[in-house]
Amino acid sequence: MPLKLDAWLERASSRVGTVGLGSQLEQIGRVRSVGDGIAMVSGLPDARLGEVLRFGSGHLGFAQTLEEDVIGCVLLDHADSVKAGDIVHGTGDVVRVPVGPALLGRVVDPVGRPLDDGPPIAAEATEPVEQPAPPIIQRALVTEPVQTGILVIDALFALGRGQRELIIGDRSVGKTTVAVDTIINQKSSDIVCVYVAIGQKSSSVARVLGAIRAHGAPDRCIFVVAEATAAPGLQWIAPFAGMVMAEYFRDRGRDALVVLDDLTKHAATHREIALLTRQPPGREAYPGDVFYLHARLLERAGKLAPEQGGGSLTALPIAETDAGNLSAYIPTNLISITDGQIVLDAKMFHEGQKPAVNVGTSVSRVGGKTQAPALRDVTGRLRLDYAQFLELEMFSRFGGVTDPRVKAQMQRGERLRALLAQPQNAPLRLAEEVALALALRDGLLDPVAPAAIPALRRALPDWLDTHARAAVEAIGSSGQLDADSESALQTAMAALATRHATEAAAP
């Protein structure tokens, strides 16, 4: 026993001898007031903008505003236990989120805490939510397509890997559905998808999760959820957190897709935080930096040069309009930042034309450079033909059309409109889109009544797999439409159109 005691005393003495004795300076702040997810803190003169602050209760927040004698701190939780007079410590760090393959297939909040009753995230690393956008010299041209599986988008407004395409429209006109169908269609690609819900209802988030799990590849998706009931701080950092999680894969040479649903609610949260932290309001009470807020976020999307790994990050931000007003403050900001917009029309939606894409106001500023060559070959005049049909249809309301050529053009346009309507959660393969556009171009669908087009589309996948499998595989692997594949598709579509024209004529 004495030997053990002597050994313990010797070890204790050696440890005490190595401890440096002296004074240590520690800055301590105090909470002046707290409410609505914002704490006003004083007493931390060395705090930095964006620094994480730790309260005595263990809750965290980040410094959003720095004034001469007070810090506006945004809480990252509903911290009911934070009250005036509590001690606050600076951490010297910024907000970080976990990244890595362990997040794939998981539902997490913006700081990486699981929301799916699964185990804790075994993150490979943690990264700051604010990252600089890649400089121009590190970027490459956007040339590879992102197949959405939605014919009206892939044929008329092709998306590219590294593009920022805004999805915009009124409330409940199918904006999220377009984005979700794009994610579902990536089950046959190598793209990693990140869905970010900002201020959405729990029921809406549950529908999105259910659709992707039922029809897509959820094991290659990350779901970042900041519901409407979440703290404003979590809703504010949600799109930045989702972008960081996607950048992990981009920086390793892979392709990623981020859906931000939606940035209108994010802007409202930013305005709420700004007003509560006493920032001067500007137009529509938004702070003056609301443009920079989304510009620095979306600028992080892009295609990296081969020297940087060649990865890409595609962004699909969603914005909501009021009564179709595209000239409102936030919509115009986002339209000016992005590389194009998919505009959804409420009138078309209520008439049953879904997805309700307004061909006249939608645009992709990257254009046909990213379109699959096979689809580009058969859709060259599609947008012009559709626009002419819509104009002719408007004028035909004033009187009957007697010219045979105009009648034929009207009938072709009716079939085109029926083709562009597409059911939810049913994306088309590239070969199927090429086959439909080819059949329309060559007049193979002229005998088919517009009402029979949906049945023809439902039968198309099995029909092509049976009658033109080689062409389907060739187009899917190369994206090109050679003469043999075109001939095989024409033969198969002619037979399918004849079958459905006969069935439609039968009593």
pLDDT above 60 for 506 = no
* Mean pLDDT of all residues in 485-502: 89
Residue 315 pLDDT class (50, 70, 90 cuts): very high
Report how far residue 489's alpha carbon sits from residue 239's, in angstroms, rounded to the nearest whole number: 43
pLDDT above 70 for 56 = yes
pLDDT above 70 for 6 = yes
Note whether residue 494 is domain-resident.
yes
Task: Give phi and psi for 336, each to the nearest 5.
Answer: -75, -25
Task: Give phi and psi for 20, each to the nearest 5.
Answer: -80, 130
Note whether residue 122 is domain-resident.
yes
Last residue of a domain, one of 322, 343, 371: 371
Q: Does residue 342 sit in the same domain as residue 384?
A: no
187 labelled binding-site residue = no
312 labelled binding-site residue = no
465 labelled binding-site residue = no
- pLDDT at residue 51, rounded to an integer: 92
Note whether residue 277 is domain-resident.
yes
Note whether residue 256 is domain-resident.
yes
Last residue of a domain, one of 70, 93, 116: 93
Residue 405 pLDDT class (50, 70, 90 cuts): confident
Q: Does residue 157 sit in the same domain as residue 261?
A: yes
19 labelled binding-site residue = no
Q: Does residue 395 sit in the same domain as residue 320?
A: no
Q: Does residue 126 sit in the same domain as residue 138?
A: yes
Note whether residue 489 is domain-resident.
yes
Q: What is the pLDDT of residues 241-278, one digit of tens each?
A: 999 999 999 999 999 999 999 899 999 999 999 999 98
Q: Residue 306 belongs to a domain with what CATH number? A: 3.40.50.300
Q: Does residue 150 sit in the same domain as residue 116?
A: yes
Q: Does residue 365 sit in the same domain as residue 410?
A: no
Per the document, the length of the chain is: 507
Q: Residue 475 belongs to a domain with what CATH number? A: 1.20.150.20
* Mean pLDDT of all residues in 219-232: 94
- pLDDT at residue 45, rounded to an integer: 87
Report how far residue 387's alpha carbon sits from residue 316's, in angstroms, rounded to the nearest whole number: 25
Q: Residue 82 belongs to a domain with what CATH number? A: 2.40.30.20
Residue 507 pLDDT class (50, 70, 90 cuts): very low
pLDDT above 70 for 36 = yes
- pLDDT at residue 402, rounded to an integer: 65
Contact 36, 82 (CB under 8 A): no
Q: What is the pLDDT of residues 377-397, one digit of tens each?
A: 888 888 888 888 888 888 777
Q: What is the pLDDT of residues 243-253, one digit of tens each?
A: 999 999 999 99
Query: What is the DSSP code string of 32-96?
Result: EEEETTEEEEES-TT--TTEEEEETTS-EEEEEEE-SS-EEEEESS--TT--TT-EEEEEEEE-E
Domain with 295, as residue range(s), is: 97-371
User: In whole angstroms, what separates CA 484 from the centre of its chain?
Assistant: 37
Note whether residue 23 is domain-resident.
no
* Mean pLDDT of all residues in 50-79: 90
Q: What is the pLDDT of residues 279-305, one digit of tens each?
A: 999 899 999 899 999 999 999 999 999
pLDDT above 70 for 399 = no
Last residue of a domain, one of 371, 395, 419: 371
- pLDDT at residue 118, rounded to an integer: 85
Q: Does residue 316 sit in the same domain as residue 410?
A: no
Report how far residue 63's alpha carbon sits from residue 74's, in angstroms, rounded to the nearest whole number: 6
Q: Does residue 388 sit in the same domain as residue 351?
A: no
- pLDDT at residue 195, rounded to an integer: 97
For the chain, the average pLDDT equals 89
pLDDT-wise least confident of 179-193, 220-234, 445-459: 445-459
Residue 79 pLDDT class (50, 70, 90 cuts): confident
Residue 237 pLDDT class (50, 70, 90 cuts): very high
261 labelled binding-site residue = no
Q: What is the pLDDT of residues 131-140, one digit of tens each?
A: 999 999 999 9
Q: Does residue 234 sit in the same domain as residue 101?
A: yes
- pLDDT at residue 505, rounded to an integer: 55
365 flagged as catalytic = yes
Q: Indicate the number of domains in the chain.
A: 3
H helix or E strand, kind and range, residue 197: strand 192-200
Q: Does residue 453 sit in the same domain as residue 476?
A: yes
Report how far residue 221's alpha carbon sits from residue 219's, in angstroms, rounded to the nearest whole number: 6
- pLDDT at residue 1, rounded to an integer: 47
Note whether residue 429 is domain-resident.
yes
Q: Does residue 361 sit in the same domain as residue 392?
A: no
Q: Which residue out of 11, 365, 381, 469 is catalytically annotated?
A: 365
Note whether residue 24 is domain-resident.
no
* Mean pLDDT of all residues in 224-253: 94
Structure tokens that stand for 398 in this block: 């004033």
Q: What is the pLDDT of residues 411-465, one digit of tens each?
A: 888 888 999 999 998 899 999 999 999 999 888 888 888 889 999 999 999 999 9
* Mean pLDDT of all residues in 177-197: 95
Q: What is the pLDDT of residues 148-173, one digit of tens each?
A: 999 999 999 989 999 999 999 999 99
Residue 208 pLDDT class (50, 70, 90 cuts): very high
Q: Does residue 307 sit in the same domain as residue 199?
A: yes
Q: What is the pLDDT of residues 336-393, one digit of tens each?
A: 999 999 999 999 999 889 999 998 899 988 867 888 899 988 888 888 888 888 888 8
- The percent of residues above 70 in pLDDT, for the chain, comes to 95
Report how far residue 45's alpha carbon sits from residue 39's, in angstroms, rounded to the nearest whole number: 16
Residue 401 pLDDT class (50, 70, 90 cuts): low
pTM (predicted TM-score): 0.90
* Mean pLDDT of all residues in 107-128: 90
- pLDDT at residue 58, rounded to an integer: 86
Contacts of 336 (CB under 8 A, 6+ apart): none
